[in-house]
Amino acid sequence: MLHIVETNFQSSSQKNTKKNSVIIIGVFILIVIIIGTLASIRQPTNKVIDVVSATIPKKVTPIEKPKIDKSIVKIQVMNGTGISGQAGDVVNTLVTAGYNSNNIRPNNADDFDNTKTIISVRDNFEETASDIEKILKKAFTEVSISSTKIDKHTEFDIVVVTGSSVSSMISQQ
């Protein structure tokens, strides 16, 4: 019987050791949780601000559009009204605005009954066409950019066909 008592005693002792180990591990985990919670509560607020400010976008600088190199644009100006000298006046106006006279060719249009001034443009010269449109709106009643693009194999980047003008002396505008 003595042997049975010893076995029961060891068994009880092993149970107490397991209980104590579980309690010690539980207390350790509880302490770690408490320390972690206190550490997160006590973090300096400037770290939170730094994280927030890091997510706020900095001032965005718009990308500057490249300037129009007016010296290389090839322009054809077609007199579409039959008014003598109208294409030449447009050439003078464009030269005054900074376009290269060596790259501008005046000519007569096939028809002389145009009421609108129409600007046709080659791909990648849309900004130039807008600039010319602004310039010519000072002198012509109605100016618009055509939706039809100039063929890439054509000599000119811009073709202007004149229409009715506000005044006969465009170059004075």
Can you give the pLDDT at residue 173?
42
Same domain, 47 and 103: no
Measured CA to CA in angstroms, residue 121 lies from 20, 43, 118, 148 at distances of: 89, 63, 10, 8
Domain that holds residue 31: 2-55
The CATH number assigned to the domain holding 107 equals 3.30.70.2390
Q: What is the mean pLDDT of the chain?
A: 81
**What average pLDDT score do residues 85-94 get?**
94
Greater model confidence, 93 or 45: 93
Whether 160 is covered by a domain: the verdict is yes
pLDDT tens readout for residues 96-135: 999 999 999 999 999 999 999 999 999 999 999 999 999 9
Can you give the pLDDT at residue 48?
52
pLDDT tens readout for residues 19-49: 788 888 888 898 988 887 777 776 655 555 5
Whether 60 is covered by a domain: the verdict is no
- DSSP line for 122-135: -TT-HHHHHHHHHH
Q: Structural domain tally of the chain?
A: 2
**pTM (two decimals):** 0.59
Same domain, 101 and 158: yes
